[in-house]
Amino acid sequence: METVKQVGIWIRVSTDMQVQGESPEHHEQRARFYIQSRGWEVVTVYRLDAVSGKEVMPHPEAQRMIKDIRSGKITGLVFSKLARLARNVKELLQFSEIFREEEADLISLSESIDTSSAVGRMFFVLMSAMAEWEREEISGRVADSVPGRAEAGKPLGGQASFGYKWNKWRLEIDPTEAPIRKLVYELFIQHQRKKRVSTILNDLGHRTRNGSKFSDTTVDRLLRDPTAKGERRANYTKSLGDNKQWILKPKEDWVTVSCPAIIDAETWDKCNQILDEQAARNRRSGKKTRYLLAGLVKCSCGKTMYVISSARNYTCTKCKNRISVDDLDEIYQEYLRGYLHDVEPVTYLNEGMVLLQEKEQLLETTQEKRKKLRKQMDALIPLRLEGELDKEHFAELYKPLEEQVHQLDVSIPELEAEVDYWRIQLTTSDAVLSEAKTLFNQWEIMSFDQKRGIVETITEFITIDKEDITISLAYLPPSSNTQNSQHNLRDSCWRST
């Protein structure tokens, strides 16, 4: 049984927009209707009422949202427009990077961005490109000065290695930390287990500089750092961004500077030899998939089917259900070929655009009607204040208008959600259909990786039953031979008996 996608709603309306048409309630209703149309489930709502978009990341609600993304509580976030998520470009890039890392989706209704779809995933590519360009620009401005500072022994930023401290421009041994740093090497030579070393250090009451317990990762980093033997490396790492991974620069950029030693070179070399030997034993080369549909094939019982022998069969380890790799590849390609032959994209898109325009026109008419009603209501108030209307006559005229506006306030977000849904579906379906056609027009000259990339983009899953095969494609328009037409734009399934 497929799990229902769990999403959150992001509501941020600044003080100057806290009017009836831009109320938080309006944005929330619009998002809820869209989520309902996708068959998803709302887990939580993040409310930032009267909060400026200049700096959002430190806000408690933003931190709660990030925590929920990191923990997997939600796998998507729906909001009315990008400017409501954040106006600060840097923060927008940070949010984008977090969602990309956690394989979660950003859904911006006004910009028709839904990264749970194929075309929406292009958004992350663009955002990542912007982030990379920004990093390169900043890096380029300071790169020329870094090697010179490193060779002069000056700090390049950040803290001194554990066991050391900066005294102006000089790196000196820290008398408090140095004995612990030395003990790390001695314990590792004795036990040859990083986890065991960290446990002993913690049991002895030692802590890292920030007060945390030692971990095997911390022990590994300290053992690998040659500063302890009097060789401080500089200009050898670079950050991938705030709170992101640090990676090594090319070795030709590294700078080695002499510094006071805590241990002798022989001890350091011995520890690192042990680490290298352990790493060689534990290293596992990741296997690259050799099958076009690997990871997409599921048994009707719900378990993923794998090719687990030289027989080249996708097999369910629970049900022993199986199908030949070659047979399934042929069935899949024949289905797509027939499917694409039946789909008329121009006709489909034209019909979809007519439907979208009708809904947009209805939405515009409804919004205009609401404005006129509000104008009539506003005109009645001065008449009442000036005594031209008595209380009963005022209520008789005002109440029906108020009730009608309230009804429109309920219907407008639903209409907006319908427009959002169809706009995103049309854009997405066109893009995926284009990729699917490319799959056959250029299939023979494509590399396996290119074929695999397209298949991953357009395929939701393939379910193998004892008698049936169900192919579910992501966001393709329905063809005339598609039996599951009730799924409309969401998925197109085929059964082979």
pLDDT for the residue 128 = 47
The distance between the two most distant Cα atoms of the chain, rounded to a whole number of Å, is: 100
Residues 139, 129 contacting (CB under 8 angstroms): no
pLDDT for the residue 108 = 82
- Residue where the block lists tokens 């990083």: 194
113 and 138 share one domain: yes
CA distance 323 to 319: 12
pLDDT for the residue 139 = 52
Q: Could you give the number of structural domains in the chain?
A: 4
121 and 45 share one domain: yes
The two tokens of residue 114 are: 């839904």
pLDDT for the residue 448 = 82
337 and 455 share one domain: yes
Residues 311, 297 contacting (CB under 8 angstroms): no
The string of DSSP letters for 306-374 reads EE-STT-EEE-TTT--EEEHHHHHHHHHHHHHHHHHH--HHHHHHHHHHHHHHHHHHHHHHHHHHHHHH
Confidence of residue 3 (pLDDT cuts 50, 70, 90): confident
pLDDT for the residue 122 = 55
Residue 390 lies in a domain: yes
Residue 98 reports pLDDT greater than 80: yes
Mean per-residue pLDDT over the chain, rounded: 76
pLDDT in tens, 369-411: 889 999 999 998 888 888 888 888 888 888 989 888 888 888 8
Residue 151 reports pLDDT greater than 50: no
CATH number of the domain within which 158 lies: 3.90.1750.20
Polymer length of the chain: 497
pLDDT in tens, 259-288: 899 999 999 999 999 999 888 876 655 556
Q: 49 forms bridges with which residues in the sheet? A: 13
Written as one letter, the residue type at 96 is S
The string of DSSP letters for 128-152 reads HHHHHHHHHHHHHHHTTTHHHHHHT
pLDDT: which is higher, 185 or 58: 185
100 and 247 share one domain: no
pLDDT in tens, 330-374: 888 888 777 666 555 555 566 667 777 888 888 888 888 889 999
Cβ count within 10 A of residue 462: 23
Residue 38 lies in a domain: yes
Residue 14 reports pLDDT greater than 70: no
229 and 305 share one domain: no
Residue 235 reports pLDDT greater than 70: no
Residue 290 lies in a domain: no
Cβ count within 10 A of residue 426: 20
pLDDT in tens, 298-318: 998 888 898 877 778 999 988
The closest alpha carbon to 29, from 87, 85, 78, 82, belongs to 78
The closest alpha carbon to 89, from 52, 131, 136, belongs to 131
The CA distances from residue 350 to 224, 347, 416, in Å, are 63, 5, 21
**Can you say whether the dihedral through the CA atoms of 358, 360, 364, 370 is positive or negative?**
positive
The string of DSSP letters for 378-403 reads HHHHHHHHTTSS-HHHHHHHHHHHHH
Determine the average pLDDT of the residues in 132-138: 50
Query: Picking from 136-140, 170-174, 346-350, which range would have the lowest pLDDT averaged per residue?
Result: 136-140
Determine the average pLDDT of the residues in 167-176: 85
Residue 237 lies in a domain: yes
The answer to whether the pTM exceeds 0.75 is no
pLDDT: which is higher, 118 or 77: 77
Q: Sheet of 491-496: strands edge to edge?
A: 297-299, 459-464, 469-474, 491-496
CA distance 330 to 138: 50
178 and 134 share one domain: no
User: Which structural domain range is residue 481 located in?
Assistant: 297-343+445-496
203 and 76 share one domain: no
The two tokens of residue 394 are: 């005022």
Residue 291 lies in a domain: no
The two tokens of residue 469 are: 């095969």
Residues 225, 190 contacting (CB under 8 angstroms): no
Query: Final residue of a domain: which of 238, 254, 282?
Result: 282
118 and 55 share one domain: yes
User: Strands (DSSP E) along 50-145, which ranges?
Assistant: 76-79, 105-108, 113-114
The CA distances from residue 287 to 166, 175, 322, in Å, are 45, 48, 22
Q: Which range scores top for mean pLDDT: 154-158, 190-194, 253-257, 491-495? A: 190-194
Exposed, middle or buried, 71 (CB in 10 Å: 0-12/13-18/19+)?
exposed
Query: Final residue of a domain: which of 97, 115, 142?
Result: 142
pLDDT for the residue 284 = 54
Residue 121 lies in a domain: yes
**Can you say whether the dihedral through the CA atoms of 20, 25, 27, 32 is positive or negative?**
negative
Kindly state the DSSP code that residue 3 receives in the 8-state scheme: P
pLDDT: which is higher, 187 or 479: 187
The two tokens of residue 29 are: 């209703």
29 and 168 share one domain: no
Determine the average pLDDT of the residues in 448-463: 77
CA distance 44 to 228: 49
pLDDT for the residue 479 = 44
339 and 349 share one domain: no
pLDDT for the residue 97 = 79
The closest alpha carbon to 31, from 442, 414, 344, belongs to 414
338 and 467 share one domain: yes
27-60: b or e for each residue (b if 16 or more CB lie within 10 Å)? bbbbbbbbbebbebebeebbebeebebeebbeee
338 and 453 share one domain: yes
pLDDT for the residue 64 = 93
Residue 254 lies in a domain: yes
The string of DSSP letters for 188-213 reads HHHH--HHHHHHHHHHTT---TTSPP
What is the share, in percent, of the chain residues with pLDDT greater than 90?
17
Query: Final residue of a domain: which of 142, 159, 178?
Result: 142
Q: 474 forms bridges with which residues in the sheet? A: 491
pLDDT: which is higher, 85 or 481: 85
Determine the average pLDDT of the residues in 434-442: 61
CATH number of the domain within which 126 lies: 3.40.50.1390
Residue 94 lies in a domain: yes
Q: What is the helix (H) or strand (E) element at residue 47, kind and residue range?
A: strand 41-49
